[in-house]
Amino acid sequence: MKNTLKTVSLLSLALVLGACGSGAPSTGTPSGVVAGGVNASALKATAMTGKWFVELEGDPTAISAQSIGSQQASFRTLAAQRGITYQEVMSYRTLFNGFSVEADEAEIGRISELPGVKSVYPVHKIPMPVTETVPMSQAAEMPDMYYARSMTGADVAQNELGLTGKGVKVGVIDTGIDVDHPAFAGRIVSQYDFVGNAYTGANTPVPGPTQDDCAGHGTHVAGIVGGNVAATSTFRGFKGVAPDVSFGAYRVFGCSGYTQEDVMVAALERAYSDGMQVVNLSIGSAFENWAETPSAIVGSRMVKKGMVVVASAGNSGRNGSYSMGGVTMGDNVISVASVDNSKIELQSFALSDGSKVAYYEGSGSPTAKIGANLTITKKASSTPATTNDGCTASGGFEANSLTGKAVLIRRGTCSFYEKASNAQKAGAAAVILYNNATGYLSPTVTGTPAVTIPVVFVSDMDGAKISGLIAGGVSVTFDGGKTAISNPTGNTLSDFTSYGASAELEQKPDLAAPGGSIISTYPLSVGDQTGYAVLSGTSMASPHVAGAAALMLQAYPNTQAKDMRGLLMNTATLRFYRNGATITNFPDYVQRQGAGMLDIVASYGNPVKVSPNKLSLGESATFATRNKVVVLKNTGATRQVYMARNVPAQTIGGTTLAPAASTAYASMTVNGQNVDTAGTEVIVPPFSEVELNVVVTPPAAAADKAQYGGMLSLGSKTGPSLVVPYSGFKGDYQSIQVLGNEIVDGQTYDFPALYSKRNDVFYAENATVTTPPEFTFASYAADPAKPTVLSTDRPSVLVQLSHQARRLDVDLLDANGTLIETLATQEYLGRNCTNNAAQKSDTCDIYNEYPWDGKLANGTNAANGSYKLRVRVLKALGDASNPADTETYTSQTFTVKR
């Protein structure tokens, strides 16, 4: 199969909409627009790179360098002989056999047909992860890596087990590492800059052997892996997970912007050639969640060649299920989800009784002036039970009653803005809001007229405390301090962490680690230049696991790379679901956390190996009950005794873009014994293997198309307990619709759609077109301000992919619907991140575009006449011989008139 002809375009929000929605004919069509079309004021291909991976047939890990060179030389010769125009950008010979090239869609189609070409894939943009720097200079009590280390057991591994990662080399592929930061002094043994400072992803990279980090993300990641610096009188001390590792620093981002997937693949090959034993990638390509895409292929081959590969699961959880992608999808690559830190740091003020109170600043109000000291007051009727404190309807505040004071107001009934505005009118110098429920909020006090006094928000407990102190007199001093508090969402999955499963229903991610609100090293020349910052993301979770892998390699240097995932996964601990309160009976989705939180000490002390390390059960339409054999291998001299139980996790119901939690759960038997409510004993003698026959039945009460899952829990009193996550799909996986519709300005349009860029018109599926649109294939200047930049008047099809697709074919038909030829085929497509044009961005595709250049496969021009375009999509895990597994769209008739 060939993988060709994909460009990605993004609908502008500035659409001039006709009356044709949901396939209805248009009325009142503007002059010059074909009836049935919808005007688009702009169509912008902001997510398109214009580059492609060309993969040749030979596996570079299985054939000689001479054979690879010969294959690549043959490709270049054949391309030249056939007059194919392209620009070679990079050549790969170690982990990927092929090239990245710049070429237009027509040339890519011809490249895909050359002998020896296995497949062609678009090169994706990879956005630089968003970072948030927190000023550190006035911090008195910081949320140290200590908290995150204690969550994983890294502190015990360092202090009691003597594990530091010494002798292990870890490659960090990211924004670089600050070579001047004392946390890495003398430990960066390999480095390469693939792009240069000025690279933004949209210009030409300038590689060079020297590198530094002017963006910050890579230094933060490396610090978590193994930063190490002693405290001095002027510099804060710090210690990462594996503080004695050596580093390889591979820079793939400039100071801003994004990078491209071909640059990342080059860095992966370099890290392998440099002999890195572990590599961390806190970057990825969301929604491309196939193990067969180029970066995932390279990750798989790195593990096959002996490198431990750790990658972040992604931060696209708010975009729904099946949202992972990139290297993290590779075979035996360790995919890491994020858990919120047990402690978070907030700004604080001091009370006159000497205590500190943490707070969030109000959005829309000024920051409190450091040093300001104010007496705290409240409305006479206000208590910690008042429901309408400070609201206009309850009388607000008397004029001048709050002059020069800070006023305490309880949340409830009216808006934060109304409360703050009323206080300001009464002369208050500041407002202290407090919660009427557990925890903290970040209040918004934007309105007209603006609130011009500081507004802060404290917890319900602190608010009640202050309320009780007011009668005896209490004041507040805004001293610029910070304090660490227990995180209300601590030890639960971060809301941004991405959902699995893979497009092929493999259980992903594999395990979780701290990623929410993590302090680590930061470039000395970036931010407030203190050398530290607090950031959140799966980017911060992945290096915890990379550091843990380094500790395990120090302890067990003969561990195979393919076995590291199970070593860390099967001793993890479950995280429970939080939605206002923890549901104690149901862990969070395994499709978000894998096996649960990393537990380094348990991994170190575990003599029993589990195979397989997870159970991907597939769809239940054909085989409702799944049988799996789990092998427990005891490598120690002590008998191990376990109690096997089923621990069902929450089931993912709802839709792909709007997942909803369900407590319908799967049932399980182990060796014929039901383990849903009571366990069954499993004994593994010394130096022996025991097989467990595990049978899982999907939840009957779950909705169709739900993802279910849970854990085979092996509780032990003789050693570390073990977990084996399982996941499956309820019903017919191919019943998920792939070809979706598009929402523009709140109106839904039937897609796919025929599109004319020159006329700036698309024709929704099934819309009536009274006069077929004409295409001349002539060149024209799409932008009058850029007359030398030419486009071609050609038809294309806009396709909204609501789910991943195994293959997509674009066919050329005559006016009667008879196939002339297949123009293009693309394999292993990721879904679009949304179907709503209002949510598009430079890296969030809302549809794919498939244009036709007017040529036939032999390179000749198609004759003038009437044609149609057809799209056929084979669904993920679909059977090409089963018509029900293929969705088809056929465009309206159009005319070629040269």
Q: Tell me which residue of 241, 223, 246, 128 sits closest to 177, measured CA to CA.
A: 223
Q: Note the pLDDT tens digit of each residue in 136-171.
A: 433 333 445 667 888 999 999 999 999 999 999 999
pLDDT at 24: 32
Q: CA dist 183 to 226, 628, 738, Å? A: 8, 47, 49
Contact criterion met (CB below 8 Å) for 647 and 711 = yes
Pairing of strands 343-351, 774-775: unpaired
Contact criterion met (CB below 8 Å) for 609 and 640 = no
pLDDT at 19: 24
Q: What is the DSSP letter of 884?
A: G
Instruction: Tell me the helix, strand and coil percentages in the chain, rounded to 5.
Output: 15, 35, 50
Chain centre distance of CA 166:
31
CA atoms within a 13 Å half-sphere pointing along the CA-CB vector of 361: 15
In sequence order, what E strands does 568-607 have?
Answer: 576-578, 582-587
**φ, ψ for residue 616, nearest 5 deg:** -95, 110
pLDDT at 147: 77
As annotated, the active-site residues are 174, 217, 539
pLDDT at 487: 78
Q: Note the pLDDT tens digit of each residue in 221-235.
A: 999 999 999 887 667
Please give the CATH topology (third level) of the domain spanning 51-122: Alpha-Beta Plaits (3.30.70)
Burial of 810 (0-12, 13-18, 19+ CB in 10 A): buried
Burial of 87 (0-12, 13-18, 19+ CB in 10 A): exposed
pLDDT at 63: 92
Class of the 606-736 domain?
mainly beta
Q: How far apart are CA 295 and CA 488, in angstroms?
A: 37
What is the C-alpha radius of gyration for the chain, rounded to an integer number of angstroms? 30
- What does the domain layout of the chain look like in residue ranges? 8-42+738-896, 51-122, 163-342+488-603, 344-486, 606-736
Could you tell me the pTM of the whole model? Answer: 0.86
pLDDT at 485: 81
Contact criterion met (CB below 8 Å) for 241 and 150 = no
Q: How far apart are the first and last CA of the chain?
A: 32
The CATH number of the domain covering residues in 8-42+738-896: 2.60.40.4070
pLDDT at 146: 64
Show the low-confidence residues of the chain (pLDDT under 70): 1-48, 130-146, 233-234, 578-584, 843
Q: Note the pLDDT tens digit of each residue in 527-540.
A: 777 888 888 899 99
- Backbone conformation region of residue 371, classed left if phi is above 0, alpha if psi is from -120 to 50, else beta: left
Domains 344-486 and 606-736 fall in the same CATH topology: no
Contact criterion met (CB below 8 Å) for 536 and 518 = yes
pLDDT at 21: 28
Token pair for 591: 């499709």
Reduced 3-state DSSP string for 783-826: CCCCCCCEEECCEEEEEEECCCEEEEEEEEEECCCCEEEEEEEE
pLDDT at 12: 31
Provide CB contacts within 8 A for 177, sequence distance 6+: 184, 188, 191, 211, 212, 213, 218, 219, 222, 247, 249
Superfamily of domain 163-342+488-603: Peptidase S8/S53 domain (3.40.50.200)
pLDDT at 838: 79
Q: CA dist 359 to 145, 147, 386, 470, 484, Å? A: 22, 20, 21, 18, 11
Give the max Cα distance, the chain.
93
pLDDT at 578: 56
Contact criterion met (CB below 8 Å) for 377 and 366 = no
Architecture of the structural domain at 344-486: 3-Layer(bba) Sandwich (3.50)
Contact criterion met (CB below 8 Å) for 458 and 440 = yes
